């Protein structure tokens, strides 16, 4: 009994291990390192409240005397030692990075999710309905594609702020940011799904579904999603890197998350202010974290695209 149930599963694992994608992963040291770094940062961000030695957002635990402590050196007043030093308010840089990465990743993942759901839905509608709906959506996509997404995100952010009463702007900022970044990046998903839908919809099983009274769109979704999983995954991975960068950029420009919830971009903006006075660590460590995160996710996306599309190799 155990033999029969155990064997197929073992085979599936063996097959996955032997598949081209896995082979390519094992033979690409860069991809392995990138995956390791991404997972490390993501885990550290998720478990920030348990890992971080300090809570940078709890004013009660902050001691202004601890301000500007250099990394690995005891503070001249309190004698406290911080791995990566502290900022002007005495916040532990390591802890702010963990919490900052948490916000950066949250915004990044949510924005990608939003863009994906929006893109897949619109792509399905455009591909299935065709006609003027399709032309309109694709024209919008074309026009949108000619503008850099960061500009679009900025505009959407500005517009949304115009609609939101000033009293709520701070509280809604993160969600506005997610919508702004997500809206600026739905086009690629839509194109892939639209293409696949147009191929599938003429096939017989869709017609058959109509005959038995099932809604063809539901069936299409079930058949198309597996087909576009690969490209969507690639777009989403690279999209995650782009979203993280976009969030950091907007926050750096001072139009992103509020400074009460600093993301990596905000931390870099704060750190830039201390560049000329010599407190380099306030800038450097968040920058390295952002770079490591963006680079490793980008590398993963790059590798994934090549691995799923051997023709490009």
Partner 1 sequence: MLTVYAADAGSDMLAFILRRLVQSVIVMLTVALVAFALFRFVGDPIASMVGQETTLAERAELRDALGLNDPFVVQFGKFVARASTGDFGISYRLQQPVMELILSRLPATLELALVSGVLAFVFGVGFGVYTALRRGNWLSGTIMTASLIGVSLPTFLIGVLLIWVFAVELQWLPSFGRGEVVQVGNWWRTGLLTESGRASLILPAITLGLYQMTLIMRLVRAEMLEVLRTDYIKFARARGLSNRAVHFGHALKNTLVPVITITGLQLGSIIAFSIITETVFQWPGVGALFINSVRFVDVPVMAAYLMLIALVFVVINLVVDLLYYAVDPRLRVDRANARH
Residues that bind partner 1 (CB under 8 A): 143, 146-148, 150-151, 154-155, 157-159, 161-163, 241, 245, 248-249, 252-255, 265, 268, 272, 275-276, 280, 283, 287, 290-291, 294-295, 298-299, 302
Residue 85 to residue 91: CA distance in whole angstroms: 8
Contact 101, 260 (CB under 8 A): no
Nearer to partner 1, 129 or 161 (CB): 161
Contact 103, 48 (CB under 8 A): no
Min dist. Cβ of residue 43 to partner 1 (A): 20
Residue 101 to residue 251: CA distance in whole angstroms: 13
Nearer to partner 1, 149 or 197 (CB): 149
Min dist. Cβ of residue 60 to partner 1 (A): 32
Paired tokens of 100: 């900052």
Nearer to partner 1, 181 or 220 (CB): 181
Residue 12 to residue 81: CA distance in whole angstroms: 51
Min dist. Cβ of residue 144 to partner 1 (A): 11
Min dist. Cβ of residue 87 to partner 1 (A): 16
Nearer to partner 1, 69 or 289 (CB): 289
Residue 179 to residue 184: CA distance in whole angstroms: 8
Min dist. Cβ of residue 45 to partner 1 (A): 18
Nearer to partner 1, 65 or 151 (CB): 151
Buried b (16+ CB within 10 A) or exposed e, 106-144: bbbbbbbbbbbebbbebbbbbbbeeeeebeebbeebeee
Min dist. Cβ of residue 294 to partner 1 (A): 4
Nearer to partner 1, 52 or 154 (CB): 154
């Amino acid at each position: 009994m155990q033999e029969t149930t155990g064997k197929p599963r073992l085979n599936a694992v063996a097959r996955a291990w032997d598949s081209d994608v896995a082979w390519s992963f094992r033979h690409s040291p860069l991809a392995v390192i990138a995956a390791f770094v991404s997972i490390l940062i993501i885990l550290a961000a998720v478990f920030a409240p348990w890992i971080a030695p300090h809570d940078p957002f709890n004013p009660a635990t902050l001691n202004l005397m601890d301000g500007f402590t250099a990394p690995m050196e005891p503070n001249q007043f309190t004698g406290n030692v911080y791995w990566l030093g502290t900022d002007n308010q005495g916040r532990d840089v390591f802890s702010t990075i963990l919490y900052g990465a948490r916000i950066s990743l949250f915004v990044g993942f949510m924005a990608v999710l939003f863009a994906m759901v929006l893109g897949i839905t619109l792509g399905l509608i455009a591909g299935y309905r065709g006609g003027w709906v399709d032309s309109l959506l694709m024209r919008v996509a074309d026009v949108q594609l000619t503008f850099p997404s960061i500009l679009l995100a900025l505009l959407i952010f500005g517009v949304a702020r115009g609609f939101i009463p000033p009293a709520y702007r701070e509280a809604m900022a993160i969600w506005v940011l997610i919508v702004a970044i997500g809206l600026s990046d739905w086009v690629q998903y839509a194109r892939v799904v639209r293409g696949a839908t147009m191929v599938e919809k003429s096939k017989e099983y869709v017609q058959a579904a109509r005959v038995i009274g099932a809604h063809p769109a539901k069936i299409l979704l079930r058949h198309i999603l597996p087909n576009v999983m690969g490209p969507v995954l690639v777009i989403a991975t690279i999209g995650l890197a782009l979203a993280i960068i976009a969030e950091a950029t907007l926050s750096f420009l001072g139009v992103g998350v509020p400074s009460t919830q600093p993301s990596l971009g905000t931390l870099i903006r704060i750190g830039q202010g201390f560049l000329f006075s010599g407190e380099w660590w306030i800038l450097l460590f968040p920058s390295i974290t952002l770079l490591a995160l963006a680079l490793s996710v980008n590398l993963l996306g790059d590798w994934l695209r090549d691995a799923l599309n051997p023709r490009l190799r």
